[in-house]
């Protein structure tokens, strides 16, 4: 997905949360100054592959969810899912993070030649300034939810998890699976719950775009479709 396609969703998200687009753009510009271009051709082996987009919900500890990750051709981990999978002996092929929980893991992965999609948004300026210089720039794909600038890309998505799914789609994944996802996690706070609701909506947009049924949405499509219609007139 390119930014022209994503922008109406982005504008709706900004309105829904009251976020400041200018703040996103300021941090994006700082990230651009700290980054070098990451050629997406390095992810060419994702094309035609089954990609497990691993979330960090507690169910990632379940055997069934870990099996989804082990059986996939490529594993993309959102945030702390990377630590959980690595601890279980499951290799991570890419990590997607906005640097808020385990940036040490992300930095270490880049130094090991594992790509990390590091996200810049209006609330993480300090983390961007602190951590991007510690990453191996050659293995860092810097992303934004605003318009892309210089080496900073936007392939779609809002939370770490759905950004990972949009990235996999962008580079040609044939099938997406979703271990470690729980939209109704009772242990998260109100803001995180709202973000998870948007993750579900964006996965539904992606599902339609790909003409692929994501099992993770099986119990909520009707609800999500209604929400999207209310928000977007879709």
Distance of alpha carbon 47 from alpha carbon 127, whole angstroms: 32
Tens digit of each residue's pLDDT (9 = 90 or more) over 92-149: 999 999 999 999 999 999 999 999 999 999 999 999 999 999 999 999 999 999 999 9
CB 3: neighbour CB atoms within 10 A?
16
Domain residues for the domain of 132 are: 3-38+46-186
Whose tokens are 């990390």? That residue is 116
Is there a domain that residue 83 lies in? Answer: yes
Query: How close are the terminal C-alpha atoms of the chain, in Å?
Result: 18
Report pLDDT for 234: 58
Check: CB of residue 154 under 8 Å from CB of residue 144: yes
Supply the pTM of this predicted model.
0.97
- The total domain count for the chain is 1
> Higher model confidence: residue 93 or residue 234?
93
Dihedral (Cα; 20, 134, 81, 223), 10-degree rounding: 10
Identify whether 201 is part of a domain.
Answer: no
Burial (CB count <10 Å: 0-12, 13-18, 19+), residue 129: middle
* Residue 211 domain flag: no
Tokens of 114: 């594992």
* Structural domain includes residue 28: yes
Of 106, 100, 181, 93, nearest in space to 136 by CA: 106
In this structure, is residue 94 part of a structural domain?
yes
- The confidence score (pLDDT) of residue 63 equals 95
The pLDDT assigned to 186 comes to 86
CA 166 vs CA 143, 158, 204, 209: distances in Å: 12, 10, 11, 10
CB 129 within 8 A of CB 4: no
Question: Domain for residue 12, yes or no?
Answer: yes
Query: Residue 223 corresponds to which tokens in the numbers above?
Result: 């609800």
Over residues 213-233, the pLDDT tens digits come to 999 999 999 999 999 999 998
- Distance in angstroms (rounded) separating the CA atoms of residues 228 and 123: 25
- Token pair, residue 218, equals 């099986």
Q: DSSP label at 100?
A: S
* Rounded CA Rg of the chain: 16
Q: What percent of the chain has pLDDT over 90?
A: 97
CA-CA-CA-CA torsion sign (170, 175, 179, 181): positive
Q: What confidence category does residue 44 fall into, taking pLDDT thresholds of 50, 70 and 90?
A: very high
Asked, for residue 209, whether it belongs to a domain, the answer is no
> Nearest-5° angle of CA 99, CA 73, CA 206?
65
In a domain, 88, yes or no: yes
CA 106 to chain CA centroid, Å, is 14
């Amino acid at each position: 997905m390119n930014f022209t396609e994503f922008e109406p969703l982005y504008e709706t998200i900004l309105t829904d949360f009251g976020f400041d687009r200018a703040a996103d753009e300021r941090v994006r510009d700082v990230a651009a100054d700290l980054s070098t271009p990451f050629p997406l051709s390095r992810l060419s082996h994702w094309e035609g592959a089954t990609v497990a987009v691993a979330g960090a919900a507690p169910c990632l500890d379940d055997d069934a969810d870990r099996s989804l990750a082990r059986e996939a051709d490529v594993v993309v981990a959102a945030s702390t899912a990377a630590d959980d999978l690595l601890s279980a002996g499951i290799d991570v092929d890419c990590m997607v993070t906005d640097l808020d929980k385990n940036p040490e893991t992300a930095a270490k992965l880049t130094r090991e030649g594992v790509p990390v999609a590091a996200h810049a948004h209006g609330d993480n300026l300090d983390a961007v300034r602190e951590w991007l210089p510690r990453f191996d720039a050659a293995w860092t794909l810097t992303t934004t939810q605003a318009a892309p600038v210089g080496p900073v890309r936007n392939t779609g998505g809002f939370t770490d998890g759905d950004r990972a799914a949009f990235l996999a789609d962008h580079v040609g994944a044939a099938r997406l699976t979703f271990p470690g996802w729980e939209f109704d996690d009772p242990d998260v706070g109100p803001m995180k719950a709202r973000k998870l609701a948007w993750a579900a909506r964006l996965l539904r947009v992606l599902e339609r775009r790909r003409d692929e049924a994501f099992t993770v949405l099986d119990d909520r499509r009707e609800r999500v479709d209604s929400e999207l219609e209310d928000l977007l007139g879709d």
